[in-house]
Amino acid sequence: MKKILQTFFLLSLCIVALTGCSQLKDDVEETADEFTGEVKIMWDDVKDEFDQIDDNVENNEDYMTNLTKEDIVSLTTTIKDGYAKIKDGVTEDNHEEAKKVYEAASKLEYIKNNASEQWDDDEEDILELGEKTKELLKHYYGQKDGSFTEAKEDMEEHLNKLDSFSDEQWENLRNKI
C-alpha cells in the first residue's frame, strides 16, 4: 500500500510539473510574438495625442462631404510611404511620420465606419487599412494587444491590395461616401 501511495504521489508531481511546463511554454509563445525592436516611445506617452487625432477626425463634420477620390488615394499613399519609414519601429526621429500615418489611418477608419453605402470586398480591404495600421502602430509603441506578426501581415496584405486598385474602383469608392 505504501508503494502504491508513493507511486501515486510521484505520478501526481509529474503531472503538475508537466502542466506547469506546458503553461510556461504557452506564455513564452505568446510573448515571442511581440514587436522585437526596441520601443523608444511608449503608448502611454502618445495615447492622449493620438486620441486627440481621433477626436479631431470624428468632430470634423464637413470631412465626408468634401472628400474627393484624390483625398482617399492620398490617405493610402501617406500610410504606404510612412510605413516604409517606420516599419522597423518608431523613434524620436520618425515619430512625426508615425503621427501622419496614424492620422491617415484614423481618417480611413472614420470613412469606413460612417459612410451610408455598403462596400464591396475590395473597397472594404482598402478602408480596413486604417484599422490595421492603427493596430500595428500600437505594437510599435509597446501596446501589446494581439499578435504583432499577425498585425504586420494584415497591414502589409492590405497595402499590397492598393497596387491593384484601379482608377474606376477609386472613383466608385468615393461615390459611395
Residue 110 has what pLDDT? 92
Low-confidence ranges of the chain (pLDDT < 50): 16, 21-32
What is the predicted pLDDT for the residue at 132? 93
Nearest CA to 35 among 147, 110, 126? Answer: 147
What does the angle CA 10 – CA 16 – CA 20 come to, to the nearest 5 degrees? 145
Residue the block writes with cell 469608392? 173
pLDDT value at position 19? Answer: 54
Give the Cα separation of 114 and 109 in Å (integer): 9
Distance in angstroms (rounded) separating the CA atoms of residues 76 and 149 = 21
pTM of the model: 0.77
| C-alpha to C-alpha distance for 74 and 68, rounded to whole angstroms | 10
How much of the chain is helix, strand and coil, in % rounded to 5?
Answer: 75, 0, 25
pLDDT tens digit string along 117-138? 788 888 888 889 999 999 999 9
Residue of 169, 66, 88, 71 whose CA lies nearest to 125 = 169
| 164 grid coordinates | 491593384
pLDDT at 23: 45
Sign of CA dihedral 90, 94, 51, 53: negative
pLDDT in tens, 25-46: 344 344 336 777 778 899 999 9
* pLDDT value at residue 115: 79
Record the cell numbers describing residue 130, joined without a space.
486604417
